[in-house]
Structure 1
């Protein structure tokens, strides 16, 4: 059993540095052939949407407090995901991607952003609409920005999951979980250093108030557990996506090794 485990797992699998098919990072799951153009068009659209939301968010509240909110961390991650994915697709169209299972650094960066951003976007959306949203305190203009940063971000992430072939590995669960725990630690340090939110409150989010460490720790634990469950669900979604698209859509013959002619056939006797 130890031998079997060693054959199926290596330390390099913990990082985003290798994958058997580079084409999984620039082809759609729902195409025949190997043209990178369809995924490039999708990613250009997603990157344009996210860049617009990102600029909208910054220009609406241009203060240093913008950086302390988990919402904006997630918005930045999804924006970087779409931009890095667009770069990968552009390089694929220009035939600038090297062959081999070792991934170029820019593909690895895209994969890292993918693992983190798709999970964080959905978690942030769920936390906001379940725990934080108060319709009585929202103006019309603020509502649309909230919808963009706590709704459209998850839609963009889900489109990337559904349309791309980018793999999700259970071993990579530490990446989004690490960012989530990093933010929890940051919020605690920020509180201990006397930091406040934009309104002068001694916390970033009222539900994550470290003046009550027991309650704050419970929120962190529940969120971390939810993130783990969500990542496992997304892993399952990616497996279903690949199975369905491989059986119904993809041209799998392109991935088969070259077979020599049958020596019993007339062509094999030449």
Structure 2
């Protein structure tokens, strides 16, 4: 569920350690009740597709610099998020007794929630940056196999992340924007250190991405600042998406019964 904040915010609310309902992490928005089975089936399908894309990327593009690229960080993050989501659902299915509702969430739920906040936002930003800054229309004719791999890693990957958002009830707290932002800052600092240490890309150029060339300090700094601002915008969009998801599913699917008298007042007076 999307959280609206009071004036005072506890440390647990700023982190991923507490939530009103544990069932929000293993039940789907599009079901009645809290059975973990429907979302488990969805997550198994999503994680299978994510692993397939990751394996395709490793087979087609593996080299010693594979982990340098933000795209591949996104692949790993989305795959780990979906794997941890499967773990959360599987544990809920395997529990013989009903899952107790508590404000404190188990470690594996915290891990999933953290990965969810980071992976969805970062993967969407990666997709936007690729199609705006890096996409080459001629690649489809020159290297069709690599073109379709790029479509998978910069398109399908984000679709899988969005599907997890829409299918689940995972809470989105606006205060958690610092989590994907921290990863973005970490990658920017990493590229600067890599450049300062004399690192190169596969062609020997002193950068990982041509648009992220630290020889042009002000231009690259402006790009990094714009990207980090874009990451905050993406997280805000994620929050709005979850808000709409919860509103629609609560109104149409997860209807809440109202407290009504067992018999009308007039009849009760007669009795």
Q: Normalising by the residue count of structure 1, what TM-score does the alignment of the two structures yield?
A: 0.90
Conservation of the 8 A alpha-carbon contact between 2:21 and 2:101: no
Output the CA distance in 2 between the equivalents of 1:135 and 1:245.
Answer: 39
Give 1:131's aligned residue: 133
Conservation of the 8 A alpha-carbon contact between 2:17 and 2:104: yes
Give 2:3's aligned residue: none
Instruction: Give the length in aligned residue pairs.
Output: 258
- Asked if 1:20 corresponds to 2:20, the answer is yes
Match of 2:121 among 111, 119, 122: 119
Match of 1:213 among 210, 217, 223: 217
- Alpha-carbon offset, residue 252 of structure 1: 3.0
For residues 129-168 of structure 1, the aligned pairs below 5 Å read: 129-137=131-139, 138-168=142-172
Output the CA distance in 2 between the equivalents of 1:99 and 1:120.
Answer: 31
- Alpha-carbon offset, residue 33 of structure 1: 1.8
Output the CA distance in 2 between the equivalents of 1:99 and 1:155.
Answer: 31
Give 1:100's aligned residue: 102
SS at match of 2:65: helix
- Alpha-carbon offset, residue 62 of structure 1: 2.4
- Alpha-carbon offset, residue 60 of structure 1: 1.5
Q: Structure 1 stretch 238-247 or stretch 177-186: which is displaced more?
A: 238-247
Any gaps of 5 or more consecutive residues in structure 1?
265-270
Output the CA distance in 2 between the equivalents of 1:149 and 1:199.
Answer: 22
Give 2:7's aligned residue: 5
Give 1:87's aligned residue: 87
Any gaps of 5 or more consecutive residues in structure 2?
1-5, 266-271
Deviations 1:202-235 (A, max 9, x none): 1000111001110100000111111111111111
Output the CA distance in 2 between the equivalents of 1:98 and 1:108.
Answer: 16
Higher relative contact order (CA 8 A, sep 6+): 2
- Alpha-carbon offset, residue 5 of structure 1: 2.0
Q: Normalising by the residue count of structure 2, what TM-score does the alignment of the two structures yield?
A: 0.89
Give 1:67's aligned residue: 67
Output the CA distance in 2 between the equivalents of 1:87 and 1:20.
Answer: 20
